[in-house]
A and B are shown apart, each in its own frame.
Chain A
Amino acid sequence: MLAMNYRGPYRVRTVQKAIPEILHPEDAIVRVTRSCICGSDLHLYHGMVPDTRVGSTFGHEFTGIVEEVGPMVKNVKVGDHVLVPFNIACGRCNFCKQGLYGNCHESNPMATAVGGIFGYSHTAGGFDGGQAEYVRVPYADVGPTVIPPDMDPDDAVLLTDVVPTGYQAAEMAGIKEGDTVVVFGAGPIGIMAARCAWFFGPSRVIVIDHVDYRLEFAKNYAKCEVYNFKSLEDPVLFLKKTTDWYGADVCIDCVGCEAEGNTLQTLTGRVGLLQAGATTALQWAINGVKKGGIVSVVGVYGPPFNLVPIGNILNKGLTLRANQASVKRLLPKLIEHVQAGRLKPSELITHRVPLAEVADAYHLFSSKLDNCIKTVLIP
């Protein structure tokens, strides 16, 4: 089968690989119909995530047809068209049972701080991902969800990560009616977080980024205010001024470890790898939120350590909430939002690229060429 193959930072290609096999009685083999490149895949592509091995296949946002199931699989059958949550969850451990499907304790032997994720390095379990013609899906009774017959498959593939992560970012922010919400990052997750924030009743949603075409897209899609931080002398000072010198009620970090905007953070986090990525957006979120405010983090950072103004979290009495999205928990509500037409995630898709051209697709997305927002690979 054809599969994406990581060769080193900024280098990927397609290769022929063996079709995956059932390795566990609860496995399924899925023939991929659509697979996205996620913004967090770029952290792998840029060599930012430890234990990313040459030869790995990325891809944690995919849909596909069930081709084979293990003997213990009951909830999906051969021929089902399913969307597969990006996190691998057993459904039985105490974390899964309490709804923390993104923190399963039985899917990643390589690290205790993160559950298993498809195609996301050996730090996240060493699973091959869905940027391939076929993929092995463990715990097939728990994660895979049959796509409703009336749902656009392009909407379905974005329900595997982008929509749940954006929604959970807003949910974790504890938004109250009338709040001012600030979202850092106008990538697909930031745009979706800004759109989903409205479900919680704020009076203002502000998105801050430095890429003009993405800010324009966010303004139209999420009906929000947008600002390019390169045109602001100081984003934190701007937030204070625009909130009557109070601070935003909640701030959401949808950027993660490859943030721009602070030379020291860039040099130590992205160039020198002296910390697990640049925490510029998180720093702005902490410093731009009001006292007693909430900072919600869904931006991805590496595991080792980061420079953040922890003293300000203490002194301002902030609540910091963060997690990988619990996709399975959120799916029923989000499917309803999509079916009711309140959310149209597929509008984020700007590029469809054959899997065979995966290297060009990564470069296009990474370099933000051709006004790219979201790229889907078609096997």
Chain B
Amino acid sequence: MTADNENYKDIPGWGMDADPENEPTYPMKHYTGDDHKRLNYERAAQQPLNVEILQSIERPAPTAVFGTSVPPSGLSGAIRRFAFKHSEDRYRHWLPLILADRINVVEGLIDDIKSGEFPNVFAEKGYKAEWEYNRPAMIKKVFIGAFVVAAICSSLINRKR
């Protein structure tokens, strides 16, 4: 249902308490009234759409420029495409994206191995810095980890017997 108020300025008291100084967004925003023009502004030329872009359904068209890094692919890409069928207001937009991120990590590992490069997880996690600046804590963690693994292995062996 829409209000049929073409003559809204005839409503008694219309605008009489408006205060242009009541602008809590100043100085972040220099209010000009252009918001009421909505999307009617001079737009930059459109960047060619030659990679797959997942666009929010809350806008009518892609932005004039966009990033082209890592287009969606694989299972994570399929999940991302599903997510972008829903508005930014919906859990079904964000939660699938988080799931896709986690699946994407596994896809990245598989891609690495397929390309013959086994990822050096210790280097990727920056453990060299840990060794250099936090050595006692790192040694402690390694010992605790080794103890836990040994305890689990021992427990499993004893169960089998």
- Could you list which residues of chain A lie within 8 angstroms of chain B, going by C-beta atoms? 7-13, 23-27, 47, 50-57, 72, 88, 90, 92-94, 97-100, 105-113, 116, 122-123, 125-128, 138-139, 168, 171-172, 273, 302-304, 319, 321, 323, 326, 329, 357, 359-364, 366-367, 369-370
Contact = CB atoms under 8 A, between A and B. Distances in A.
Given A55-B70, A94-B32, 15 more contacts: A11-B124, A13-B124, A24-B65, A54-B105, A93-B41, A98-B32, A99-B27, A107-B64, A109-B66, A116-B65, A171-B28, A329-B28, A359-B124, A359-B125, A369-B133
> Which 3 A-B pairs rank lowest in CB-CB distance, beginning with the nearest?
A363-B126, A126-B67, A127-B67
A11 B127 CA distance: 10
Counting chain B residues whose Cβ lies within 8 A of the other chain, the interface size class is 35 or more
B123 A359 contact: yes
Contacts of B47: 23-24, 138
**Chain B contact surface mostly:** loop
B82 interface: no
6 contacts: A90-B64, A98-B31, A99-B29, A109-B62, A110-B66, A139-B65
Contacts of A168: 28
Nearest to A99: B30
Interface in B44-94: 44-45, 47-48, 53-56, 58-59, 62-70, 72, 76, 80, 84, 88, 91, 94
Interface stretch (B3-11, B14-22, B96-104, B148-156): B96-104
B119 interface: yes
Q: Which of B47, B62, B63, B91 has the most CB of A within 10 A?
A: B63
A116 B29 contact: no
Contacts of B24: 319, 321
Given A55-B70, A360-B126, A360-B128, A108 B63 contact: yes
Contacts of A99: 27-30
Contacts of A273: 98
A364 to B, nearest CB: 4
A250 to B, nearest CB: 14
Contacts of B132: 360
Given A24-B47, A94-B37, A98-B31, A7 B124 contact: yes
Contact of B126 (A92, A139, A361): A361
B105 A9 contact: yes
Contact of B130 (A57, A107, A127, A363): A363
A304 B91 contact: yes
Contacts of B64: 24, 90, 106-107
Contacts of A359: 123-126, 128
Contact of A109 (B41, B59, B133): B59
B56 A107 contact: no
Contact of A112 (B59, B95, B127): B59
Interface string B33-47: 011011101111101
Contact of B43 (A92, A100, A138, A302): A92
